[in-house]
């Protein structure tokens, strides 16, 4: 998902999320409204091998006709298949292994569809389920934060359609297992749209058929995130090219843009290779180089749809001189699509790492000033109300909700924590830990890794193993507690006494740097064993804590600025009334 500390105010974003959730509450069942609910036992008992999905998008009636053939391998004896599908769709036909089953064999009262099998499937056996359905898909009130379909018109008058279903889940589009671990190993998409509209899709193009005024585009993708399977329809034109990777392979590039945007689109397309160069140099090989790096212009802000990232930022450059939206969504090809969180409670692995990629990219492009300035923007947005990890299963809504959940802190607190970790353990261990998390190896090369699931606990174990130290204290405070640690400095008879005050008095032996004197003074390292340390400092000598801004810590100035901004906004709104 696509926040921006520079272009979208935190308060307006939170209000939009709340309004969107309340607006659709009456329309969607709880099962369809929440993504990432515990899987049914029958869903845990299968490996999802293949999804063959046919979609007919009918803009004139804002409706969808779907035909899904789903292949599962049983990991345990199976007597039923359970799918998630928006109950507002009408199901016309259900088949098991090519044979229609009676209506009495299946039900979908609350959006969790249960299909009784004609005969049990033994462990290691396979079953193919077909569901033919149709209806008016749920409409997004404010995509991408509110999931659903966007039915729009291009500036030239043609239909312009997009789906964005991260928050509410894949069941708003197709019968799926709406859980991060519900990824199908292979997906075929057949997208039928009115000619001459174009329908870019996930993965690689297999072909296009045109008949009776309709076009069907065929796409094939491997291991896509469930919410990354998407529909995009419009009067698109394509810019294509190639990127020659440092790893020896060639990555196809494609940008589908609206007619009339050719010049602006060419400028954005020119950024593709530079972004690929950054990620491959700093993180590792582009995970889907055998498919494509694809981007499509959309009537909503954006979303990390695998190999066909949604882009709706209107070609804006921010104050740092690059398109933050494109770069953020593209970062999710590594942190979200290659590495997928095993549970929504681990969503900071997507958003925290993805958000850190923006300052890191600016450091790569232009150096330290832009890097620290971008981190400062993120720091100003922290709320620190709810831990970014709770250590228990959560739904997408429970994580993103700003009042009861972690909200934007999974983005910015996650990013700033990674900046602090990098300073603590050093670049070599830090970037190696990312590669092991993302690829499962320190030496990734095209062909020697596959998409994988990751957890918070796994990342902590990776850091401990690489450093040979136990950094549980670090993650206990930053990930599992809401409040930030406070660094207390007090002068005494001989100098400066330092101590950490961590939430719940947890151990926090974070080393601290102190600059003695003015801007050109000596910088000393204070070990802080037991969370305490001391610096000899003559009376009257000025000092600066953490002069290189390595530490994420409680600083009252940020809360004061937020409080002042909120009060001024409230006063302005009252005056306007």
Within this chain, do residues 440 and 501 fall inside the same structural domain, yes or no? no
Q: Report the number of distinct structural domains present in the chain.
A: 2
Within this chain, do residues 467 and 497 fall inside the same structural domain, yes or no? no
262 annotated binding-site participant: no
CA distances from 116 to 43, 86, 163, 434 (A): 13, 19, 30, 43
* Confidence (pLDDT) at 21: 38
Name the one residue in this structure whose structure tokens are 């950024």.
271
pLDDT tens across 331-342, in order?
Answer: 999 999 999 999
- Would you tell me how many other CB atoms lie within 10 Å of the CB of residue 435? 20
Out of 428, 446, 478, a domain closes at 478
Residue 27 confidence class, pLDDT cut points 50, 70, 90:
confident
Within this chain, do residues 357 and 439 fall inside the same structural domain, yes or no? yes
> Torsion angle of alpha carbons 415, 417, 419, 423, nearest 10°?
-170
Out of 478, 507, 532, a domain closes at 478
Question: From its phi and psi, is residue 207 left (phi > 0), alpha (psi between -120 and 50) or beta?
Answer: left
Distance CA 37, CA 540 (A): 59
Continuous H helices in 8-115? 10-24, 30-33, 41-44
Within this chain, do residues 423 and 496 fall inside the same structural domain, yes or no? no
Within this chain, do residues 347 and 472 fall inside the same structural domain, yes or no? yes
Taking each helix axis from N to C terminus, what angle separates 348-366 and 456-467, rounded to the nearest 10 degrees? 50
- Is 391 a member of any domain? yes
218 annotated binding-site participant: no
Give the residue among 506, 498, 464 at the shortest CA–CA distance from 482: 506
* Confidence (pLDDT) at 230: 96
Out of 460, 478, 496, a domain closes at 478
Question: From its phi and psi, is residue 307 left (phi > 0), alpha (psi between -120 and 50) or beta?
Answer: left
Task: Choose the catalytic residue: 42, 158, 329, 397.
Answer: 329
- Average of per-residue pLDDT across 247-267: 97
For β-strands 452-454 and 46-58, DSSP reports them as unpaired
Range in 11-20, 57-66, 248-257 the model is least confident about: 11-20
Distance CA 484, CA 502 (A): 7
- Average of per-residue pLDDT across 379-404: 92
pLDDT at 6 over 70: no
Annotated active-site residue 110? The verdict is no
Within this chain, do residues 351 and 433 fall inside the same structural domain, yes or no? yes
Range in 19-23, 124-128, 415-419, 473-477 the model is least confident about: 19-23
- Is 503 a member of any domain? yes
pLDDT at 4 over 70: no
- Is 275 a member of any domain? no
Any idea what the CATH number is for the domain that residue 467 is in?
1.10.390.10
* Confidence (pLDDT) at 354: 98
Within this chain, do residues 345 and 420 fall inside the same structural domain, yes or no? yes
Please report, rounded to a whole number, the percentage of residues in the chain having pLDDT higher than 70: 95
Using alpha carbons only, give the angle 131, 135, 138 rounded to the nearest 5 degrees.
110
Instruction: Answer whether 64's CB lies under 8 Å from 101's CB.
Output: no
Give the residue among 286, 414, 293 at the shortest CA–CA distance from 347: 414
3-state DSSP assignment of residue 167? coil
Within this chain, do residues 442 and 543 fall inside the same structural domain, yes or no? no
Within this chain, do residues 451 and 373 fall inside the same structural domain, yes or no? yes
Instruction: Answer whether 203's CB lies under 8 Å from 187's CB.
Output: yes
Tell me, what DSSP letter sits at residue 460?
A: H
- Average of per-residue pLDDT across 338-365: 97
- Is 383 a member of any domain? yes
257 annotated binding-site participant: no
- E strands, 22-139, are 46-58, 63-74, 78-84, 90-96, 99-100, 106-107, 112-121, 126-135
List phi, psi (to 5°) of 316. Answer: -80, 140
- Label each residue of 234-247 as H, E or C: ECEEEEEEEEECCC
- Average of per-residue pLDDT across 127-156: 95
- Is 363 a member of any domain? yes
Residue 3 confidence class, pLDDT cut points 50, 70, 90:
low
Name the one residue in this structure whose structure tokens are 């491997």.
222
* Confidence (pLDDT) at 15: 32
Mean pLDDT of the chain: 93
pLDDT tens across 484-495, in order?
Answer: 999 999 999 999
* Confidence (pLDDT) at 435: 98
Q: What is the CA radius of gyration of the chain?
A: 25
Structural domain including 542 reads 486-549
Within this chain, do residues 453 and 360 fall inside the same structural domain, yes or no? yes
- Is 37 a member of any domain? no
Please report, rounded to a whole number, the percentage of residues in the chain having pLDDT higher than 90: 87
* Confidence (pLDDT) at 8: 41
Annotated active-site residue 322? The verdict is no
* Confidence (pLDDT) at 364: 97
Residue 191 confidence class, pLDDT cut points 50, 70, 90:
very high
CA distances from 189 to 49, 130, 224, 229, 540 (A): 14, 14, 12, 9, 71
Residue 7 confidence class, pLDDT cut points 50, 70, 90:
very low
Residue 20 confidence class, pLDDT cut points 50, 70, 90:
very low
- Is 235 a member of any domain? no
Model pTM?
Answer: 0.93
pLDDT tens across 506-530, in order?
Answer: 999 999 999 999 898 999 999 999 9
Within this chain, do residues 521 and 426 fall inside the same structural domain, yes or no? no
- Is 255 a member of any domain? no
CA 367 to chain centre: 26
* Confidence (pLDDT) at 1: 64
The two three-digit tokens of residue 434, written as one number: 């990312």
Within this chain, do residues 354 and 409 fall inside the same structural domain, yes or no? yes
């Amino acid at each position: 998902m696509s926040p921006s500390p520079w272009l979208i105010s935190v308060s307006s974003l939170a209000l939009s999320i709340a309004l969107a959730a309340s607006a659709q509450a009456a329309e969607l069942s709880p099962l369809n409204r929440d993504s990432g609910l515990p899987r049914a036992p029958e869903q845990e008992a299968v490996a999802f091998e293949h999804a063959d999905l046919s979609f007919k998008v009918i803009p004139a009636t804002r409706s969808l006709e779907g035909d899904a053939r789903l292949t599962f391998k049983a990991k345990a004896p199976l007597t039923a298949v359970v799918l998630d599908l928006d109950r507002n769709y009408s199901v016309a036909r259900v088949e098991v292994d090519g044979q229609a089953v009676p209506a009495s064999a299946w039900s979908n009262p609350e959006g969790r569809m249960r299909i009784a099998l004609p005969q049990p499937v033994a462990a290691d056996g396979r079953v193919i389920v077909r569901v033919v359905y149709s209806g008016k898909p749920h409409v997004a009130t404010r995509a991408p934060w509110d999931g659903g379909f966007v039915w729009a018109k291009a500036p030239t008058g043609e239909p312009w359609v997009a789906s964005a279903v991260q928050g509410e889940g894949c069941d708003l589009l197709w019968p799926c297992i709406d859980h991060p671990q519900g990824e199908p190993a292979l997906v075929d998409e057949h997208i039928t749209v009115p000619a001459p509209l174009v329908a870019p899709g996930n993965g690689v193009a297999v072909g296009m058929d045109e008949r009776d005024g309709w076009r069907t585009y065929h796409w094939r993708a491997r291991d896509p995130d469930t919410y990354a399977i998407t529909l995009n329809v419009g009067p698109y034109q394509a810019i294509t090219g190639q990127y020659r990777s440092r790893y020896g392979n060639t990555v196809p590039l494609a940008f589908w843009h609206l007619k009339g945007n050719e010049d602006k689109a060419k400028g954005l397309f020119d950024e593709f290779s530079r972004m690929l160069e950054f990620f491959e140099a700093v993180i590792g090989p582009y995970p889907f180089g055998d498919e494509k790096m694809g981007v499509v212009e959309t009537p909503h802000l954006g979303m990390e749809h695998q190999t066909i990232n949604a882009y709706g930022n209107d070609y804006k450059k921010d104050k740092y001189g690059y398109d933050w939206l494109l770069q953020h969504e593209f970062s999710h090809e590594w942190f979200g699509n290659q590495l997928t969180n095993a549970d929504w409670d681990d969503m900071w692995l997507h958003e925290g790492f993805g958000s850190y990629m923006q300052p890191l990219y600016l450091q790569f492009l232009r150096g330290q000033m832009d890097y620290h300035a971008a981190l400062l923007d993120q720091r100003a947005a922290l709320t620190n109300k709810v831990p970014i990890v709770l250590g228990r299963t959560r739904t997408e809504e429970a994580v993103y909700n700003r009042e009861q959940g972690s909200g934007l802190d999974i983005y910015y607190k996650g990013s700033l924590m990674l900046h602090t970790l990098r300073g603590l353990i050093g670049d070599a261990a830090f970037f190696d830990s990312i590669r092991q998390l993302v690829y499962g190896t320190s030496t990734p090369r095209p062909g020697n890794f596959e998409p994988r699931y990751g957890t918070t606990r796994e990342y902590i174990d990776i850091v401990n193993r690489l450093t040979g130290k136990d950094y549980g204290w670090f993650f206990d405070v930053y990930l599992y507690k809401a409040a930030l640690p406070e660094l207390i400095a007090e002068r005494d008879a001989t100098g400066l006494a330092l101590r950490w005050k961590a939430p719940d008095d947890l151990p926090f032996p974070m080393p601290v740097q102190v600059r003695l004197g003015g801007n050109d003074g000596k910088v000393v390292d204070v070990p802080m064993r037991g969370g305490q340390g001391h610096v000899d400092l003559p009376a009257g000598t000025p000092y600066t804590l953490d002069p290189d801004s390595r530490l994420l810590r409680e600083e009252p100035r940020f809360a004061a600025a937020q409080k002042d901004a909120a009060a001024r906004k409230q006063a302005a709104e009252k005056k306007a009334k």
